[in-house]
Amino acid sequence: VDAIRRRLTSEAGRDHLRLIAEEIEARMADEDLPDERLRLMFACAHPAIEAGIRAPLILQTILGFDATTI
């Protein structure tokens, strides 16, 4: 039962990540990423910021995703 649950959770996670990646690609295709936003992305990835918050910080504040999408 646990193995099946893990497999289903893993598959759902992969599908969710794939959808997010496709949405990011679509948004980036619509517009060029200005240098300022790229600098902000690198700033959000700074080692002084907790690792678990870096990606959501970039997705929300710079790329405009809402919390439910993330």
* pLDDT tens sequence across 9-60: 777 778 877 888 888 777 776 666 567 888 888 888 888 989 999 998 888 8
Q: Are residues 43 and 25 in the same domain?
A: no
* Structural domain count, the chain: 2
Provide Rg for the chain, Cα atoms. Answer: 15
Q: Are residues 12 and 36 in the same domain?
A: no
Q: Are residues 13 and 40 in the same domain?
A: no
pTM of the model: 0.46
Q: Are residues 27 and 37 in the same domain?
A: no
Q: Which domain holds residue 65?
A: 32-70
Q: Phi, psi (5° rounding) for residue 31?
A: -150, 150
Task: Let me know: does 66 contact 60? Beta carbons within 8 Å.
Answer: yes
8-23 pLDDT, tens per residue?
A: 777 777 887 788 888 8
Q: Are residues 4 and 22 in the same domain?
A: yes
14-44: string of b/e by CB count within 10 Å (b at 16+)? eeeeeeeeeeeeeeeeeeeeeeeeeebbeeb
